[in-house]
Structure 1
Amino acid sequence: MKFISWNVNGLRACVKKGFLDYFNEMNADFFSLQETKLQEGQIDLQLDGYYQFWNYAEKKGYSGTAIFTKHKPLSVSYGVGEHESQSEGRIITLEYENFYVVNVYTPNSQRDLARLPLRLQWEDELSDYLTHLDKKKPVIYCGDLNVAHEEIDLKNPKSNIGNSGFTIEERGKMSNLLSSGFVDSFRYLYPEQKDTYTWWSYMSKVRERNIGWRIDYFILSNRIAPNLIDSQIHCDVMGSDHCPVCIEVSL
């Protein structure tokens, strides 16, 4: 099965920049989106053969997630926990006979770290949620997780220590999750690969010079990691400040 995840930074804008060409070319079983930035009725996507599941933020033009899939789920759920980000449309979970798919757009701690306490609460609640699911059946957890886990995952680690997305606290939460029974699919297959990123600032020439961060992931339950066929980062796909990430896994 092929799974794709992409923070599109506004789906309506991304559609104008070739989203459907990429979507049709990839022919994925699951296509997860983050930061859709729209409300119900603001887009009409004709995706033949796909079920569509949307989680809209209450605030217009903000956040939001979606999953398009060829496979009808046993159940669908939205959100987790009770904190303020619940209204921001950040989580969709699809349940299948042998696995769960969890699509997430993790809150940004903000440049001044004003939202770091909320972020850490979010991480704890999400970790508990994923661990609970994993006790029932394997989990495929994907999305824009807004953290570069290790120094290899961003171009300039030394100058970014303590900045949003590279704080000790955020990186520690990722380490804790991985140590509780999960694996970063890309690092599982390519532990030493450098200069492979998923997000670049819109500042001039940053993407051309590949000054990026790897903050978009597929995280898998340990017991299905051996079923992983490939984990790819499609750095050449434009349309957003993020690029798509893709895995193929035998389920």
Structure 2
Amino acid sequence: MKTSRSNLPRCVALPDNFEAFFSFPQNKGGYSGVAVYADSRTVTPLRAEEGLSGILQPKPPLTSDDRISRSYPCAHEIELMPDEHGSTPSDFAALEAEGRALIVDFGLFVLINVYCPNETSDARLPFKINFHIMLQDRVRKLMNEGREVVVVGDINVCATPLDHCDGHLASNTATFYDHPARAWFHGWLSPIGCMTDAVRTFWPGRKGMYTCWNMKISARETNYGTRVDYILVTPGMLPWIKHGDIQPSLRGSDHCPIYIDFHDEITTDGGERLFLRDILPMGGNREDLPQLAARRWEEYSGKQTLLSTFFGKGNKLCSPKDSPLSSLSPTPDTQLHSEHSDVAQPDHTQPAVVTPPPVHPPLSSHKSVYTSTSQILVPSLHSNPISSRQTVPPASSAKRKSSDNATKKVPKKLKGGQSKLSSFFAQPSVSPPCSQEISPDDLTDHRDYTESDYQLALELSASLENPLSQDLLASAMPSASQSKAAWSQLMAPVQPPNCLVHGEPAKEHTVNKPGPNKGKIFFLCSRPVGPGYDKGKSERLREEVDHRYRCNFFKWTSDVRREAKDKSSTS
């Protein structure tokens, strides 16, 4: 689910005609989590539990009658994989802390919905394997109590080479089951183990039946994926299964849906006809729902008032217009964030005292100083136009005038908001010096001026009237055409280079991974990835490379720009 209970919308927690059950991670909000939805018009869940080991309990804890089974996995009774330090977990607390399992009893079978861990690093491998072992032991104990089990979800393991996009390659086929997770899965599935891959039974030799794709490399376009999502059943459930398949055309995630259909009725070996509607539990009051059902949460039971109800549309208690928070803009100090708790209630007992920030005058970067004999643009000091023909009042007078107007005059906001970059390089419109007059108010708007600043401005303006200085400045500044050409070359987009194998323009990418290269731009072969695409010599044998797909071309944008500059300078 990748969300938290506090961020779950009501329409997701309580959809029409469905009863929902959730398991959220304890510490990492939005990291994982699973959910089960049961159509109340078809079946009524009898019991529900969070986790696999039975240690996760709601408040109040489940009674013996509310529990699904009598026995649960124990860390001391099964062989777990030690971590990198050689220590074996003494309990399942860490494995159960990420909200990865839900168990719901539907009478005919016990549904176990899992989101098994991924192997993001070597240190994560023991965590992954131990979760699998805990799952396997829970199923074994349920079967020992005479229950049929259906396991659904992301197992995060490829069952056979047929379920992997590169499984057909000789180097992968020979060592496919060497990985501990694949070896475990291979031993748990029939014909060796007790669980049957329900969907694969209807498509035994089907290729490309993948359920997950790497979205970062656009692998879905060429169906370069893996099958890691399964529906596994115990032998007693096989007569009820009518059909199963995947739905790769449905998008919205890096995974696609997977499903099975049940027969409405079956005939046993003894000739007895069984109807599904008679076996699945249905009916009963909503008060009899399992304690874990979202409908029984406090926030939906009418016992707890949500903060959002006070600011809802049309609410008479407190409308947004009358809200004491309406006049306050959010700041880092007033924004409260919590992943595992409800939003804190605001304290309205004391009136809010808002102190406006000090008002600073806007600084305009478009005012300039011009001499009467030249059109050279010279930025003014403190962005205030001063001409040699203008008389500057004494500093003391300016400061006194500034303090008098500090409480009277509010600087006007610049029209048009933020200036565009192009405005700094546009040809300025030159006005005669006599038209640039300064009012006392203009001077007092800039309160940071000192007497030395005014004196320096007068000297600079006077020096520009010297013909020798004007000639030096004119020769030092490039012409308009030269400036335009220089800026055009600097700001021009980098032309993509051609990849070396296919000779086709490469595709631009940006580094999003945190680190020293984050934000840098690079080029890769523009062809899509596919079975046998060139990952590089260290990851792919040369004889197994399929040149119909992406080659291993890579180049930083800075290198492309440098090569283009060197080429232009030599030519």
TM-score, L = length of structure 1: 0.79
1:1-251 mapped onto 2 (5 Å cutoff): 36-42=1-7, 43-44=9-10, 45=12, 46-58=14-26, 59-70=28-39, 71-81=43-53, 82-110=92-120, 112-135=121-144, 136-157=146-167, 158=169, 161=172, 168-178=179-189, 179-250=192-263, 251=276
What amino acid is aligned across from residue 64 of structure 1 in structure 2? G
- In structure 2, what is the Cα distance between the partners aligned to 1:124 and 1:206? 31
Instruction: Give the percent of matched residue pairs that are identical in Structure 1 and Structure 2.
Output: 28
**5+ residue gaps in structure 2?**
54-91, 264-275, 277-571
Q: After superposing the two structures, state which structure 1 stretch, 75-84 or 231-240, moved more.
A: 75-84
Cα offsets for 1:137-184 (capped at 9, x unmatched): 11110000001110000111249959xx98621111112222332100
- In structure 2, what is the Cα distance between the partners aligned to 1:93 and 1:248? 20
TM-align CA RMSD: 2.0
Contact 1:161 1:167 in 2 (8 A): no
Contact 1:64 1:88 in 2 (8 A): yes
Offset at residue 90 of structure 1 (A): 0.5
Partner of residue 365, structure 2:
none
Cα offsets for 1:214-239 (capped at 9, x unmatched): 00000011122132111110001100
What amino acid is aligned across from residue 33 of structure 2 in structure 1? G
What amino acid is aligned across from residue 155 of structure 1 in structure 2? C
Contact 1:57 1:87 in 2 (8 A): yes
TM-score, L = length of structure 2: 0.36
SS in 2 for 1:243: coil
Task: Tell me which protein shows more strand as a share of its residues.
Answer: 1
SS in 1 for 2:104: strand
- In structure 2, what is the Cα distance between the partners aligned to 1:154 and 1:109? 16
Contact 1:37 1:62 in 2 (8 A): yes
What amino acid is aligned across from residue 109 of structure 1 in structure 2? E
Partner of residue 7, structure 1:
none
Cα offsets for 1:20-76 (capped at 9, x unmatched): xxxxxxxxxxxxxxxx11111312225111101000112111100000102321110
SS in 2 for 1:203: helix
Q: Which has the larger radius of gyration?
A: 2
What amino acid is aligned across from residue 115 of structure 2 in structure 1? Y
- How many pairs are equivalent? 213
**5+ residue gaps in structure 1?**
1-35
- In structure 1, what is the Cα distance between the partners aligned to 2:107 and 2:241? 19
Cα offsets for 1:114-157 (capped at 9, x unmatched): 21111111111110101111232111100000011100001112
SS in 2 for 1:115: helix
- In structure 2, what is the Cα distance between the partners aligned to 1:131 and 1:222? 13
Contact 2:52 2:103 in 1 (8 A): no
Q: After superposing the two structures, state which structure 1 stretch, 239-248 or 129-138, moved more.
A: 129-138
What amino acid is aligned across from residue 78 of structure 1 in structure 2? E
Higher relative contact order (CA 8 A, sep 6+): 1
Cα offsets for 1:78-126 (capped at 9, x unmatched): 112414121111000001222101100001111x332111111111111
Partner of residue 28, structure 1:
none
